[in-house]
Structure 1
């Protein structure tokens, strides 16, 4: 399977390069998806209850809000990967992640169920990528006005998870 260091910068917009660079260069897409999920779920399942609703600064997301953002974003990124993997040439729009956070009322949600939801979404994402051929993974379309390959989308999903893990470790 494809390794992160075999991606070309022409396969994704510069906005996404920070996420991709968080994925170790020599691991496969499947390993990146597995490892990033394992790191996040281990952190979240061991998080003390009193930190679940903690925000590191005024106006910043709580851990629960950040987890909901990760879940929502993965669903959107997986949809994009599906479109690309099916060689759909329809340009895909960007999305306003802050608006999603405003409308996602996590105060009524149980944290453990949110962790399970993340696991379920990631399992679905892995199943999606397992079904793509090499040709599907290499297909490049347009996302948010820039180029995006299906395989780059997979590494972005993993990198986005690693990105939030860095924030959790540094600030929460």
Structure 2
């Protein structure tokens, strides 16, 4: 079956499922691409109703914050809904376009370092704890990988729709 972003977890997980968890969170490839974007380019929108690159970076950070908190809850065996939040509401009520790309990437980097620290604290048994993402029963490890799959999805959009016209 071919998943789309509207499918949520299975789509994001399918982008990274065969990759090693720690390596996914430790990779600097996406950071390198985003660091090549200056503030002027960071304000670019390929259509009036689309987010700017700065807003996408902020959204990636928000997503990781939210999902890592839910991963923390699951790792402690708290019953929690792993998927779903109003991404447009969060972006609309942030000031991402007022911040520099450097500030946004610094924030993402800080969140990522916290994520890596949390992942390093998990046992193999904790990584196998199961939770639910909509209708899917998934392990904590799969859920964590989907966080980076979400990032890859947005990086691919940046490459295809924002940077392909340079």
TM-score for the superposition, normalised by structure 2: 0.86
Q: C-alpha separation between the residues in 1 aligned to 2:71 and 2:59?
A: 18
Select the residue among 102, 112, 124 that pairs with 2:102: 112
Q: How far did residue 92 of structure 1 move?
A: 5.0
TM-align CA RMSD: 1.7
For the pair 1:75 / 2:74, whether they are aligned, the reply is no
The 3-state SS of whatever aligns with 1:141 is strand
Q: C-alpha separation between the residues in 2 aligned to 1:109 and 1:50?
A: 11
C-alpha contact 1:140 1:147 (8 A) present in aligned 2: yes
Q: C-alpha separation between the residues in 1 aligned to 2:86 and 2:54?
A: 19
For structure 2, the 5+ residue unaligned runs are 1-6
TM-score for the superposition, normalised by structure 1: 0.83
Q: How far did residue 90 of structure 1 move?
A: 4.2
Q: Deviations over 1:55-81 (max 9, x none)?
A: 111200000011110000000110111
For structure 1, the 5+ residue unaligned runs are 1-13
Count of aligned residue pairs for this structure pair: 156
For the pair 1:86 / 2:76, whether they are aligned, the reply is yes
Instruction: Identify the residue that residue 98 of structure 1 maps to in structure 2.
Output: 88
